[in-house]
Structure 1
Amino acid sequence: MGDVLGQAVELLRGQLDSPWLWGIVFVVAGLDALLPFMPSETTVVLVAVLLGADLPRLATLAAVAAAGALCGDCLSHAIGRRGGPRLIARLLRGERGGRRYAWARDAVARHATLLVVAARFLPGGRVAVCLSTGGLRFPLRRFVLLDAAGASLWAVTSTAIGAIGGAGFAEEPVKGMLLAFALALVVVAGVEGGRRIRASRPSRVR
């Protein structure tokens, strides 16, 4: 684990002064909406750790990551809208994918606003929600506005988590990354815990 992080640190450290860095962040953040294995959050957090206290570049990082995430989500939503439930079922084939789509479809019908904003903080939630909102013909303008808010919140949170890790271990970026990962897990656990509590309320619509 440490060796992998060390290699990632050295790879991105060499790109910190290159304009290609922002292209990498944008593309990875966008593709994560279609390819869940893309390390979008890891990339943003790691770059933020390496940038440390450089506030202008941290702000640029958050803006680029948010823009990439929004573009990727809109593309995923468009695929769902154009292909409909049949294509979505094919893209999310398998028992786990089917459960994610069924969950997202039901949740969109009940509380879409919160879901679109918070989906990227839930494991596997981003892809399922973007595709299902498209397949269910969720209003495009409303989706874009809500997703822009969610993408911005995600980008700022990830950047802030990385910056905290970088500030705590300015000379040891690998340790900074480990601290940032721990903070990110706390955030995800909090969001997931809140979702489970909300879902378990007897008054929810079935």
Structure 2
Amino acid sequence: MFDWLHDAVEAFVDSPWLLLVVFAVLVGGAFLPGLPGATTLLAAIAAVADDPARVAAVAGSALAGAIIGDAVGHRIGRRWGTRVLAARWLRRTRRPVLRARNAMRAHPMVVLVGGRFLPAGRLAGVLAAGISLVPLARMLRITVPVAIGWTGWMTFLGVLGGRLAGEHALAGPAAAWIISSIITTVVVCGTAVIARRRHLVARSAGSGSGVGIAAGRS
């Protein structure tokens, strides 16, 4: 019933358009909200998982798009600053960008590294770096190695999903996306639990020291 869809997907995967789409989505993901960079890369890698040369080509396109997109997003944030946030197309990401800008002053590496692996985090981090006037060279010293690691990780998950799904052109991307979603959820939830516990420990320690000081004064 869906043979036409299967054939269309295979024809697209075998064409140069696949590399162009991956590159364009990864570039735009740094400053255009809603572009599914991770999903696009996972699907593309899973679709060509049986061809190492194609896997390398897709990964290379994604990495180039990620680095160029970061530079463009930084330029947009630096040149137009907070005026960009007033645009309608950035309305939903305004608060994350402002939070990232505030955190950027004290923890630029945390914002840029963590943002790469969170939904819309890359856009918020890159624009915030530009708005905060973080030098482009300094930002790229952080984002380029992270982009390499992120691309390698997405490539691994995409190949794994493609191999698990077999030869079906649509099942591979779906399997890769499911694996990635599960791992991301586990990591994010685990990080949130650890951060919450550390906050509670620090809070209780602060309360204890305050009680001790009060007792000493009495």
CA displacement, residues 9-36 of structure 1 (integer Å, 9 cap, x when unaligned)? 6544213333332122111111122222
Paired amino acid for 1:68: G
CA contact (8 A) 2:101 2:125 kept: yes
Name the CA shift for 1:92/1:135 in 2 (closer, same or farther; >3 Å): farther
1:119 aligns with 2:120: no
Structure 1 residue 49: deviation in Å?
1.4
Higher-Rg structure is 2
Instruction: Return the match for 1:58 from 51, 55, 58.
Output: 55
CA contact (8 A) 1:62 1:152 kept: no
Name the CA shift for 1:85/1:194 in 2 (closer, same or farther; >3 Å): farther
CA contact (8 A) 2:33 2:90 kept: no
Name the CA shift for 1:76/1:24 in 2 (closer, same or farther; >3 Å): same
Aligned to 2:37: 40
1:21 aligns with 2:21: no
Name the CA shift for 1:192/1:92 in 2 (closer, same or farther; >3 Å): farther
CA contact (8 A) 2:42 2:176 kept: yes
Aligned residue pair count: 198
Aligned to 1:67: 64
For normalisation by structure 2, the TM-score amounts to: 0.78
Aligned to 1:186: 182
Paired amino acid for 1:196: A
Q: CA RMSD in A?
A: 2.5
Name the CA shift for 1:68/1:184 in 2 (closer, same or farther; >3 Å): same
CA contact (8 A) 2:25 2:36 kept: yes
Structure 1 residue 114: deviation in Å?
2.9
Name the CA shift for 1:180/1:11 in 2 (closer, same or farther; >3 Å): same
Q: Percent identity?
A: 33
Q: Tell me the SS of whatever aligns to 1:110.
A: coil
Structure 1 residue 45: deviation in Å?
1.3
Structure 1 residue 194: deviation in Å?
5.2
Paired amino acid for 1:111: H
Name the CA shift for 1:66/1:11 in 2 (closer, same or farther; >3 Å): farther
For normalisation by structure 1, the TM-score amounts to: 0.82
CA displacement, residues 92-137 of structure 1 (integer Å, 9 cap, x when unaligned)? 754x433212321232223211321231211221111111110001
CA contact (8 A) 2:10 2:169 kept: no
